[in-house]
Structure 1
Amino acid sequence: MGKRSTLSKGISTVGSFTRGNLERMGAMIDSANAKTGKPRQFKAVNLGDEDYQQDLFREQTLKATQQLLGTRFAVYGKYAKKVVPNSFFESTVDGAFSQIAKLADNWSQIDLPNQHRFANIASLDDEQRYALATDIANQNRALATLGGITGLAGLPGLLADTLWLLLVSLRTIYQLGALYNKPLTGKQGVKMAYELLANADLSKMQEKQALLAGIGIGKSLLDSAQSSGLHNELKNLGLQNKKVNFYAEQVDSIASQVGIDLDKINLTWIRRFLPATAVIVGMRYNSQLIDEVIGVAQATFAPEAKLANRAITDDSSSEVKVSQATGGNEQKEDKTATKSSK
């Protein structure tokens, strides 16, 4: 018992130290973003709408997988469609993303109770609740930004970075929902979490993916050029992809005109520089993307913003009761106002 108590205290101490450092790092990132970016006004999401667009995480995860597997992905997809119905493929993808949401939910539940301020959440006033929400947001801002380190892994890191950012974004939504007494639970909670993501402006994710994919392809090209020569690699790249053939020929032509032998260029410093560039790009974009998620989540859950019409729960009967109670109160207020006017 004594050993368990000591171990538990040790883990709690490490956890508190880590959370404190993440909060400080997140606050610094937030301050830097505020200086370089323009102020944004985020809109609350009316959770529970049946009609909403698909979130970009799904699209970009599939694109990152395609970049990683290359032509094999297209071949697998071609044969899979002949054997497996499209509806089965969609349900499999839905199931995978649902599991990621459940993992984020479990992660948020493990972390929140360990914060002593969260223990008395019911007694917190709006200012105290907002302060805690700010700390939680900074933790997740730091975690999302640190995900950019996966850029060191090249193309495999592109997929890992996308999944990590998705996990941290969902964790943010679950934590802020619980903090403002609007917990997302069960299958309906998963649906609403993705609905909130779909309403966040994640358009920069496509820009980030394109840049990281280009850097990853460039590093693969230079790695191969170390043994076969840059001239041959550019030629092979042009043969494999007609879209880049023109640019490969132009590079080769310019090098010939100025008397540069492409095969004698020392590529070592360039190969070292590209991974560092990928990390900087990934961290910068991740900090901007998580800010969008945090802004929309706070606008949706915080009391000063417009809250969702529906109770965030799996129990549909309680949702009806909530709407009926709200409607009844509105009718009473209308009658009182009519009497007073008379």
Structure 2
Amino acid sequence: MNKQQGLNVAIVGATGAVGVQMLKMLEGSTLPIAELKLLASKRSVGQTREFKSQTIRVEEARPESFEGIDIALFSAGGAVSKQLAPEAAKRGAVVVDNTSAFRMDPEVPLVVPEVNPEALREHKGIIANPNCSTIQMVVALEPLRQAYELNRVVVSTYQAVSGAGQSAINELTEQTKSVLKGEKTKTDKFPHQIAFNVIPQIDKFQENRYTFEEMKMINETRKIMDDHTLKVAATCVRLPVAVGHAESVYVELGDDKDVSVDEVIELLSKAPGVTVVDDPEHLSYPMPVDAAGKKEVFVGRIRKDLDVKNGLHLWIVSDNLLKGAAWNSVQIAETLVDSGIVKLKG
């Protein structure tokens, strides 16, 4: 792209499922981009992508690729981030990393702009983008935490296959075709057939019998909310849905907090990044099919627990590739500029 006043931005993993969405989010972003560099592995070199009526050629991601880059958005896997993110930061770029490589590093801020934007000021070159399922949950819960405090969170997720990448989407598609034809399915990305099935495992099991995905939600929620005493439990489940994570969330508000459903709906309706869809009379509630392609976190099925006075149930849905990954990363970049943490060149 032609150099002009603004930011030099790089996308690492530009041809992957999240990288493609990062490009789309940047196109509609408020960021003044002077130059955009698209980086990927050797096998993607030479591919081209369109950005604001310009054709950009994909280059191989190398340490020297980050010379002169102001902000680098990473989504090419943890191994790539561990290798190249420090190299980018060493060359003066602020890295926004979408993998789990640095999320629990105490020196790296873990940021959702609607929840803890102030943490960006503590960055030392690398900022972590949280797990997709964590992001949408904390966006919906932060208004409740601010107004009433939180004692406990219990979440069951219903996660789309795109959370495991483009190859997982392809596997769902091919398995669905095979099942409908009465043929045997081939399994690669998932431990079992995902088509017409539900798999109560995302990532590897840990010694405590929780999966790594579940522990990510638990630990990341505490870190983002800066509350390491918060009680959090998670069960993460993969569904045969292409895009859009859904979550059933039970929360216990601060001691003796007894709020009405109307109060909660009013509070969430005013919250940044949240859209309430909750009309039982007209069967209106959030669904992945409606959330796909949208940036918001949708909340519905809001109801009081029948036995616990301060207990509340929510149903939370969001596009895992957008708010859960690409859009949150771009939001972080926008916040860095808007707050003056990253200065424009020229």
Question: For this structure pair, what is the TM-score category when the shorter chain's length is used for normalisation?
Answer: under 0.3
Higher strand share: 2
RCO higher in structure (CA 8 A, sep ≥6): 1
Q: Looking at CA atoms only, which structure, 1 or 2, has the larger radius of gyration?
A: 1
Structure 1 length-normalised TM: 0.26
Higher helix share: 1
Structure 2 length-normalised TM: 0.26
